[in-house]
Amino acid sequence: MDFNSNDFQSFVSSRRSTRDFLPTPVPDELIEQIISDGLTSPSWSNTRPILVAVAKGDVRDRLSKEFLTRWEAIKGARGSIFGKIKAVLKRKGLPTSNWIITRPYHKDLIKRSKNQGRDFLSHMGIERDDKKNRDKAWARNYEFFGAPVELFVFTHKSLGKYSASDAGLFMQNLILSAHSKGLGTCPQGAVAVWEDAVRKEFEISKNYSLLCGICLGYPSEEKINSFNANRPKPSEIMIPEKVRK
Ligand SMILES: Cc1cc2nc3c(=O)[nH]c(=O)nc-3n(C[C@H](O)[C@H](O)[C@H](O)COP(=O)(O)O)c2cc1C
């Protein structure tokens, strides 16, 4: 195959998460092509333990509305004990899945997450203590950042982390395929907290659980899309050999 690896390097590094989209629809054939490219990934014993629910049109709009309503009900609960009690009493908006998102990061990981938050807020000109605008920025997740398509990725429960690994490999191929076609994407853990709402719109076996969403569409020129998240150096994740005594 005639292939220049420098081209791959510049292509892969030019992908960034997109967080503002044009309303331009994405044709069904294109969505299917991108999913087909996703499926060129390796898979555990080729079992493909994943399902994808494609939300567009009325389904997309209904889910966005439902998520925004739940987010409105829960947003005050963060950081205040009274807010938490109120949320529990109201029972509206509490996560029905993926509780992991509500827990603090482990000390091994919190620094990178904090740096990401700081860099992002600074890029957007939002002060750290400006809760109103921070909440507004987060709420954009539930509008799918204006994307006309939201993909919900489900993984088979039986294979545990290998299902998640398969889904990750699939998603990255899909994301790069979209990028090659001028489309933007953003994986979204934010939408994984209300799996029950997604299940109301799609027939999904109980053997699968929601991993995350991915919004898909044509990127706008908004400033948010020029945010460049930090990329660690290889040495930051490479484990040194044990020193032999
Ligand atoms: C599984 C997963 C879930 C994510 N969830 C969200 C999310 O809910 N909202 C969001 O804005 N970004 C989300 N992201 C995007 C990450 O913040 C982003 O990939 C990271 O900061 C690196 O930036 P880049 O994708 O532009 O290289 C998620 C990424 C992954 C892989």
- Whether 24 is covered by a domain: the verdict is yes
- Whether 51 is covered by a domain: the verdict is yes
Our answer on whether the CB atom of 147 is closer than 6 Å to any ligand 1 atom is: no
Please give the structure tokens belonging to residue 229.
């998240």
- Whether 196 is covered by a domain: the verdict is yes
Residue 30 exposed, middle or buried by CB count within 10 Å (0-12, 13-18, 19+): middle
Find the CATH number of the domain harbouring 58.
3.40.109.10
Phi/psi region, residue 131 (left: phi>0; alpha: psi -120 to 50; beta: rest), is alpha
What CA–CA distance (Å, rounded) separates 159 from 123? Answer: 39
In a 13 Å sphere around the CA of 31, the CA atoms on its Cβ side amount to 17
- Whether 232 is covered by a domain: the verdict is no
Q: What is the pTM of this model?
A: 0.94
- Whether 5 is covered by a domain: the verdict is no
- Return averaged pLDDT per consecutive 10 residues of the chain, 245 residues in all: 88 98 98 98 98 98 97 77 58 80 91 96 96 96 98 98 98 98 98 97 98 98 98 96 91
- Whether 218 is covered by a domain: the verdict is yes
Residue to substitute in 109, 186, 214, 231 for testing ligand 1 pocket (most ligand atoms within 8 angstroms of CB) = 186
Our answer on whether the CB atom of 19 is closer than 6 Å to any ligand 1 atom is: yes
**Phi/psi of residue 26, nearest 5 degrees:** -105, 120
- Domain that residue 142 falls in: 16-227
pLDDT at 66: 97
- Whether 239 is covered by a domain: the verdict is no
Degrees, nearest 5: CA angle 230-231-233: 130
Instruction: Report the domain count for the chain.
Output: 1
3-state secondary structure 5-21: HHHHHHHHHCCCCCCCE
